[in-house]
Structure 1
Amino acid sequence: MTQPHHEQDAHPVHGERGQDIADRLCDRVRRADAEGTPLKIVGGDTKAFYGRPVEGETLSLADHRGITHYDPVELVVTVRAGTPLAELETALDAEDQRLAFEPPHFGASATVGGTVACGLSGPRRPWAGAVRDFVLGARVISHDGKPLRFGGEVMKNVAGYDLSRLMTGAQGTLGVLTEISFKVLPKPAATRSLRLTMNLESALERLAEWGRQPLPLSAAAWYDGALLLRLEGGNSSVAATAERLGGDALDTDFWRTLREQRLAFFTDDARPLWRLSLPNDMPALALDGQVLYDWGGAQRWLKSDADAETIREAAARAGGHATCFTPHAEGGAESPFTPLSPVLAKYHRQLKAKLDPNGIFNPGRLYEAL
């Protein structure tokens, strides 16, 4: 464990506010593997909609919680997987620090482990990085119930092939995350959000132009006939950029509402929700439905009744892919994620067979064959 340079500056360890049930979890996994019993791994269960349904005995990590180490000087925090995400963010906020990838909660019970397992990031992702970019290390329970540690608490420990990052976005299909170490960042001195009325074509042109300039952008969306921007950085830089770009003031809470999918776009339209990952300068696709542009155009939210094949073919022709966020039982696609190519499917099967030979970890969560 990395020691702080100045012991008096280290944040107190919060393990006493939670509990360590790792031994109990290891025993449960060991028995499941020996018996070939599938396990449905659950934290706060706020992202159960994301992926395919899992049939198995519930393995809850909700009681495995607590901040085990936090050093604001070193910009590192280590947290048990069942720790509520809100609890971690409150601790970081007290030191004027944050998780720069701005993870969505989708509910008050969201946990740190679920955040990493699902690998979802908020509006700041293109400018700050994704979840995996901030994972320094992790503790994982293997299929035979052994506690393993990958990475550490400094960036140099995660050079090259690292299983702690492989677990990010794997949705619990390769092992049970029990503890994660993150790199955290200070909050900016100034934040300001702007609303510039313009059509989509003009918005994409502006974003392409501004993307080549050293502007303090940290979020960009096009919604309801306007380009919406967030500026973060030093006071003078943010003020000068806001004056240069113009527009009207926008409530900075907009970005949290977007991140948590609480805008009317998400709540007032009953059609299935799709996320299109595309080149950010790609013009609008010829798809029926309503679209919200996020991540400067690289992430596009689509509300549409079009069939999965039509949507995925359009995304593929544009150089991207499409993910369905609406469960199949509620009218969404049977397979939420883009089908794997034969080569990728081969590697996924080999990896699953190596790390989970008896297929006990969240079977079928990502793909039916895994």
Structure 2
Amino acid sequence: MNTTIASMDDSGSLIEQVAAALRNRVPLRIRGGDSKAFLGRRITGEEIDLRSHRGVVSYDPTELAITVRSGTPVTDLNALLAAQNQMLPCEPPVFNGAATVGGMVASGLAGPRRPWAGSVRDFVLGCRLITGQAKSLRFGGEVMKNVAGYDVSRLMAGSFGCLGILTEVSLKVLPRPRASHSVSLELSAAEALLKLSAWRRAAVPVTGAFHTQGRLYIRFEGGEGSVREALALAGGEEADPSIWEELREQRLDFFGGERPLWRLSVPALATVQGWPQDTLFDWGGAQRWVKSDEPASALREMAEKAGGHASCFTPVPGVESLHPLGPALLRFHQQLKAKMDPCGIFNPGRMYADL
């Protein structure tokens, strides 16, 4: 396993490109590996590529923290951490190895472990970013406190590059679990969600749970004793541990086919009655993948009634990728955008037409 990461500081060139864009009032399309280009609205503008800006800035395994440049491939970061028996707890997808650390934070996508370990945002300690005034500033971490009431470093998680250009990210990491074992059980979706809820209350060490085609797949992780007890409690059949990577990277058979793929984020115990037949229940029921030709309005209404929201992961003509914002929330986003990117040059319209 290669545990070295090529290093290059390209921040000077990136700042110059932003300054030129400001002078010429030219919008910028920020890209890393482009592995998540399917998410959000299509935008035009001069491309600014961060893949050359990569490498480890600092890493002390004993401190459980690492700072890397945003163009660093997530696969390289995973390999470096694994060599120290550590990991990114949020288990982000790598999408054929193209995903970069900057794109990981900007999209906020997390893998199967997210409900039990936390989101990408939860593990961002700080960042350095190029602002809408072409200045390089550092936020969070040990360098300077955030200002104006905003935790800027965490605001960048899920911002899709609309607030600034991430150049460095400081992340909290964790030791890899001492024991890990996966099993599957034959259960209905409703039975599976109730069982998972009971296990959560009993502090059973679940770190992954999804249901598809009448089977619940569970991953137990922790100390040898606690995992052994969990297996005795759950029963079931042994499952190939690679299934979690297949799920995370959307390579399961469920994700194939031509029908649009929707992600519905709802409370874990939201009813399963009335849901489309082709639904994969992930995150213990809180993330529901749906393959459906139903109108966007119908799927979004279903998500809203359950107390959540729906995003389309497959480009569909005339369909917004992200769930529409209410007037008050949209106004807050617009005010934040105006504060962070007053000239509106960073990924304009990527999330919503009015941002």
The answer to whether the Cα contact below 8 Å between 1:18 and 1:65 also exists between their aligned partners in 2 is yes
SS for the counterpart of 1:45 is coil
Residue 295 of structure 1 aligns with which residue? 283
Deviation at 1:109, TM superposition (A): 1.8
Deviation at 1:355, TM superposition (A): 1.0
Residue 232 of structure 1 aligns with which residue? 221
Deviation at 1:157, TM superposition (A): 6.2
**Any residues of structure 2 matched to 1:207-246 within 5 Å, and which?**
207-246=196-235
CA, structure 1 residues 212+76, in 2 after alignment: closer, same or farther (shift >3 Å)? same
* Residues in 1 aligned to 2:142 and 2:85: alpha-carbon distance in whole angstroms: 20
CA, structure 1 residues 153+244, in 2 after alignment: closer, same or farther (shift >3 Å)? farther
**Any residues of structure 2 matched to 1:1-370 within 5 Å, and which?**
17-152=6-141, 161-267=150-256, 269-329=257-317, 334-370=319-355
Amino acid at match of 1:317: K
SS for the counterpart of 1:232 is strand
Structure 1 unaligned segments of length 5 or more: list them: 1-12
* Residues in 2 aligned to 1:217 and 1:130: alpha-carbon distance in whole angstroms: 16
Deviation at 1:354, TM superposition (A): 1.1
SS for the counterpart of 2:354 is coil
CA, structure 1 residues 209+324, in 2 after alignment: closer, same or farther (shift >3 Å)? same
1:280-313 CA-partner distances (Å, limit 9, x unpaired):
1112252445100000000000000001111111
1:316-337 CA-partner distances (Å, limit 9, x unpaired):
11111101101135xxx62111
1:37-77 CA-partner distances (Å, limit 9, x unpaired):
01000001111001111101100000000011111000010
The answer to whether the Cα contact below 8 Å between 2:4 and 2:80 also exists between their aligned partners in 1 is no
The answer to whether the Cα contact below 8 Å between 2:105 and 2:158 also exists between their aligned partners in 1 is yes
SS for the counterpart of 2:13 is helix
* Residues in 1 aligned to 2:204 and 2:276: alpha-carbon distance in whole angstroms: 34
SS for the counterpart of 2:128 is strand
SS for the counterpart of 2:63 is coil
Deviation at 1:369, TM superposition (A): 1.1
* Residues in 2 aligned to 1:193 and 1:289: alpha-carbon distance in whole angstroms: 25
Amino acid at match of 2:119: A
Deviation at 1:18, TM superposition (A): 1.2
SS for the counterpart of 2:193 is helix
CA RMSD of aligned residues (A): 1.8
Deviation at 1:14, TM superposition (A): 6.9
The answer to whether the Cα contact below 8 Å between 2:54 and 2:71 also exists between their aligned partners in 1 is yes
The answer to whether the Cα contact below 8 Å between 2:260 and 2:316 also exists between their aligned partners in 1 is no
Identity percentage over the alignment?
51
The answer to whether the Cα contact below 8 Å between 1:46 and 1:110 also exists between their aligned partners in 2 is yes
What TM-score comes out, normalization by structure 2 length? 0.96
The answer to whether the Cα contact below 8 Å between 2:131 and 2:340 also exists between their aligned partners in 1 is yes
Deviation at 1:314, TM superposition (A): 1.1
* Residues in 1 aligned to 2:146 and 2:286: alpha-carbon distance in whole angstroms: 27
